[in-house]
Amino acid sequence: MTAPARDVGSRGVDSPGRAAVGARTLRTDRWWLPPAATTIGILIFLVYATVRAFQQQYFFADERYLTPFYSPCVSYGCASEPGSAHFGMFLPDHPLIPYAALSLPFLLLFRLTCYYYRKAYYRSFALAPAACAVPEPHATYHGETRFPLILQNSHRYFFYLAVVISVINTYDAIVAFRHPTDGFVVGVGNLVLLANVTLLWCYTLSCHSCRHVMGGRLTHFSKHPVRYRLWTWVSALNTRHATFAWITLGTLILTDLYVALVASGTITDLRLIG
Amino acid sequence: MSYTGQFRVWRGDADGGALADFRVEVNEGEVVLDVLHRLQATQAPDLAVRWNCKAGKCGSCSAEINGKPRLLCMTRMSVFEHDEVVTVTPMRTFPVIRDLVTDVSYNYTKAREIPSFTPPAGLAPGEYRMGQADVGRSQEFRKCIECFLCQDTCHVVRDHEENKESFAGPRFLMRIAELEMHPLDVADRVSAAQDEHGLGRCNITKCCTDVCPEGIKITDNALIPMKERVADRRYDPLVWLGRTISRRRD
Ligand code: SF4
Ligand code: SF4
Ligand code: FES
Ligand code: FES
Q: pTM score, two decimals?
A: 0.95
Residue B61 Cβ < 6 Å to ligand 4:
yes
Give the pLDDT score at A162: 98
Mean pLDDT over all residues of chain A?
A: 95
Quick: pLDDT tens for A46-90: 999 999 999 999 999 999 999 999 999 999 999 999 999 999 999
Mean pLDDT of A134-161: 95
Same domain, yes or no: B32 and B10: yes
Same domain, yes or no: B199 and B229: yes
Positive/negative CA dihedral, A13, A15, A17, A19: positive
Contact (CB<8Å) A141/B93 = no
pLDDT at A7 over 80: no
Number of CB pairs < 8 Å for A and B?
180
Considering every ligand atom shown, identify the ligand nearest to the alpha carbon of residue B226 and give its number. Answer: 1
Q: What is the CATH number of the domain that holds B75?
A: 3.10.20.30
Same domain, yes or no: B97 and B125: no
Same domain, yes or no: B207 and B115: yes
Given B81, B102, B123, the domain boundary residue is B102
Considering every ligand atom shown, identify the ligand nearest to the alpha carbon of residue B62 and give its number. Answer: 4
Is B95 within the bounds of a domain? yes
Give the pLDDT score at A9: 54
SS3 B227: helix
Q: What is the CATH number of the domain that holds B112?
A: 1.10.1060.10
Residue B177 Cβ < 6 Å to ligand 1:
no
Give the pLDDT score at B243: 78
Per-residue confidence band for B129, with pLDDT thresholds at 50, 70 and 90? confident
Residue B71 Cβ < 6 Å to ligand 4:
yes
Query: Which residue among B91, B148, B155, B156 has the greatest number of ligand 1 atoms within 8 angstroms of its CB, and so is best to mutate?
Result: B156
Domain count for chain B, please give it. Answer: 2
Which of residues 9 through 38 in chain B touch A, CB cutoff 8 A?
A: 10-12, 14-20
From A204's Cα to the closest Cα of chain B, the distance in A is 16
What is the β-pairing status of strands B3-13 and B85-89?
parallel
Distance CA A206, CA A230 (A): 11
Quick: pLDDT tens for B219-238: 999 999 999 999 999 888 88
Is B248 within the bounds of a domain? no
Which candidate from A18, A28, A119 shows the least CB-CB separation from B204? A119
Same domain, yes or no: B41 and B125: no
Same domain, yes or no: B153 and B222: yes
**CB contact at 8 A, A88 and A99:** no
Given B102, B132, B156, the domain boundary residue is B102
Nearest CA to ligand 2 atom 4: B150
Which of B175, B151, B177, B176 has the alpha carbon at shortest distance from B164? B151
Q: Which domain covers residue B174, as residue numbers?
A: 105-237
Same domain, yes or no: B89 and B121: no
Q: Closest ligand 1 atom, CA of B207?
A: 5
Q: Which residues contact B239 (CB under 8 A, 6 or more apart)?
A: B232, B233
Q: Which amino acid does the sequence have at B83?
A: D
**CB contact at 8 A, B169 and B107:** yes
pLDDT at A3 over 60: no
Give the pLDDT score at B246: 76
Three-class DSSP labels, chain A: CCCCCCCCCCCHHHCCCECCCCCCCCCCCCCCHHHHHHHHHHHHHHHHHHHHHHHCCCCEECCCEECHHHCCCCEHHHHHCCCCCCCCCCECCCCCCCCCCCCHHHHHHHHHCCHHHHHHHHHHCCCCCCCCCCCCCCCCCCCCCCCCHHHHHHHHHHHHHHHHHHHHHHHHHHHCCEECCCEECEEHHHHHHHHHHHHHHHHHHCCHHHHHHHHHCCCCHHHCHHHHHHHHHHHHHHCCHHHHHHHHHHHHHHHHHHHHHHHCCCCCCCEEEC
B241 touches A: beta carbon within 8 Å: no
Give the pLDDT score at A10: 82
Residue A241 Cβ < 6 Å to ligand 3:
yes
Per-residue confidence band for B249, with pLDDT thresholds at 50, 70 and 90? low
Query: Which residue among B216, B217, B223 has the greatest number of ligand 2 atoms within 8 angstroms of its CB, and so is best to mutate?
Result: B216
Give the pLDDT score at B127: 87
pLDDT at B131 over 70: yes
Distance CA B172, CA B169 (A): 6
Per-residue confidence band for B248, with pLDDT thresholds at 50, 70 and 90? low
Per-residue confidence band for A197, with pLDDT thresholds at 50, 70 and 90? very high
| Residues of chain B contacting A113 with CB distance shorter than 8 Å | none
Same domain, yes or no: B132 and B203: yes
pLDDT at B173 over 60: yes
ipTM score above 0.90: yes
Quick: pLDDT tens for A8-48: 458 899 999 999 999 999 999 999 999 999 999 999 999 99
Give the pLDDT score at A1: 41
Give the pLDDT score at A6: 44
Quick: pLDDT tens for A234-271: 999 999 999 999 999 999 999 999 999 999 999 999 99
% of chain A residues with pLDDT over 90 = 95
Same domain, yes or no: B156 and B50: no
Q: Which amino acid does the sequence have at B72?
A: L
Distance CA A154, CA A178 (A): 38
Per-residue confidence band for A4, with pLDDT thresholds at 50, 70 and 90? very low
Query: Which residue among B149, B218, B223 has the greatest number of ligand 2 atoms within 8 angstroms of its CB, and so is best to mutate?
Result: B149
Number of C-beta neighbours around residue B33 at 10 A: 19
Contact (CB<8Å) B224/A5 = no
From B207's Cα to the closest Cα of chain A, the distance in A is 5
Given B102, B132, B149, the domain boundary residue is B102
Nearest CA to ligand 4 atom 3: B56
Same domain, yes or no: B66 and B152: no
Quick: pLDDT tens for B22-75: 999 999 999 999 999 999 999 999 999 999 999 999 999 999 999 999 999 999
Same domain, yes or no: B60 and B109: no
Give the pLDDT score at B56: 97
Distance CA A152, CA A156 (A): 9
Q: Alpha-carbon dihedral of residues A132, A138, A141, A145, nearest 10 degrees?
A: -90
Contact (CB<8Å) B203/A128 = yes
pLDDT at B250 over 70: no
Same domain, yes or no: B24 and B47: yes
Which candidate from B12, B69, B163 shows the least CB-CB separation from A133? B69
